[in-house]
Amino acid sequence: MNYSYTQIAQYLRCPRSYRHRYLDGWREKGTRAAMIFGRCFEKALESYFCGDDCAAALHREWGAFRDTAFEYKKGETWDRLLHQGVHLLERFAQDNRIRIPQPQENLQLKVVRELPNANEFVAYIDAIGELDGTRCLMDWKTTTTRYPEEPVGLLTLDPQLICYSWMTEISDVALVVFVRKHQPEIQYLRTLISEEQRLEFGHLVATTIGQIEAAQFPAHSGIRFPQNGCVSCAHLGLCLDDQKLIESSLTLTPGANNLAWLDELVD
């Protein structure tokens, strides 16, 4: 079995949802425009570090989806996303805080870690390079919301950064957040992940895989009010046995397990 951060995170959120998605193959219908735009933006960043015209790369990549019927959030349009992306790329070039030596080797790195019982853990690291002269592992995020910077140290608890630090043994990690808003903003957030946190994450992965292999999939509906996780869960129709909801929001993909690692690419 190949495991990824996305899978472990989904199991920890709700084991029943993990079963619906990764064992039974129920996936959400429709594709969010912002998710595909994020992938196109990352390609444009690759062009930037390779010394090519990154705005042209974004036009090309995102242009391929101009007529695709994505789900756009209120106020989002294809043109608006493009406009925001170009602004963010300009700002990024002006800031000039990141160096990626040998970009062909240090962007979108696939890292594989062998686990017991012939299992593997797969991660795709966005970049390894220098932020303000300090070597670190970097994760890009395109979003409409700023990452909270208070209280100080919050980023140290970011589970995805801890996972990537565990995979690479690199302590210095950074989150580069491209905030898509009227006045584009880029947050460059750096932190250190300790050896203890990496060990702890390794134990968490082992325990979680043990529970998956033991077929433990209890429903964890989470907090009752006001942040009831079921309300935003794609699998709500299955848990409520609501055929109408299932048909409107889900699609069944046979063999979903074999392709589960692909989720990591869009996370």
In whole angstroms, how close is the CB of 12 to ligand SF4 at the nearest point? 12
Instruction: Tell me how far, at minimum, the Cβ of 58 lies from ligand SF4, in Å.
Output: 35
Helical packing angle, 5-13 and 159-168, nearest 10°: 140
Mark the segment that binds ligand SF4 (CB under 6 A) among 14-22, 36-44, 72-80, 182-190.
14-22
Tally of CA atoms within 13 A in the half-sphere of 266 that contains its CB:
12
Residue 128 burial by CB count (10 A; 0-12/13-18/19+): exposed, middle or buried? buried
Q: Which is nearer to ligand SF4, 127 or 233 (CB)?
A: 233
> What angle do helix axes 78-95 and 33-49 make, rounded to 10 degrees?
30
Q: How far is the CB of 15 from ligand SF4 (least distance, A)?
A: 8
Using CB under 6 A, which of the segments 15-23, 30-38, 106-114, 149-157 binds ligand SF4?
Answer: 15-23
Nearer to ligand SF4 by C-beta: 14 or 123?
14
Cβ nearer to ligand SF4, comparing 69 with 215: 215
CB of 25 to ligand SF4, least distance (A): 14
Nearest residue relative to ligand SF4 (C-beta): 233
Residue 52 or 242 with smaller CB distance to ligand SF4: 242
R_g of the chain computed on alpha carbons:
19
C-alpha count within 13 angstroms, C-beta hemisphere, residue 166: 25
Whether the CB-CB separation of 20 and 11 falls below 8 Å is answered with: no
Q: Residue 173: beta bridge partners?
A: 137, 191
Residue number with CB closer to ligand SF4 (183 or 232): 232
Within positions 215 to 254, which residues make up the interface with ligand SF4, using CB under 6 A? 219-221, 229-230, 233, 235-236, 239
Query: In angstroms, what is the minimal distance from the CB of 19 to ligand SF4?
Result: 8
Contact 186, 176 (CB under 8 A): yes
CA-to-CA dists, residue 100 to 41, 107, 108, 130, angstroms: 17, 8, 12, 6
Counting every residue written for the chain, the total comes to: 267
Q: How far apart are CB 220 and ligand SF4 at their closest, in Å?
A: 6
Nearer to ligand SF4, 194 or 216 (CB): 216
Least distance to ligand SF4 from the beta carbon of 158, Å? Answer: 22
Q: Kindly tell me which residue out of 3, 4, 6, 16 binds ligand SF4, with binding defined by CB under 6 A.
A: 16
Q: Which residue has the tokens 């750096």?
A: 190
Question: What's the CA gap between 32 and 37, in Å, rounded?
Answer: 9
DSSP per residue, 3-37: E-HHHHHHHHH-HHHHIIIIIS-EEESS-BHHHHH
In terms of CB distance, is 77 or 228 closer to ligand SF4? 228
Provide, rounded to whole angstroms, the least separation between the CB of residue 228 and ligand SF4.
8
Contacting positions for ligand SF4 (CB under 6 A)? 14, 16-17, 20, 219-221, 229-230, 233, 235-236, 239
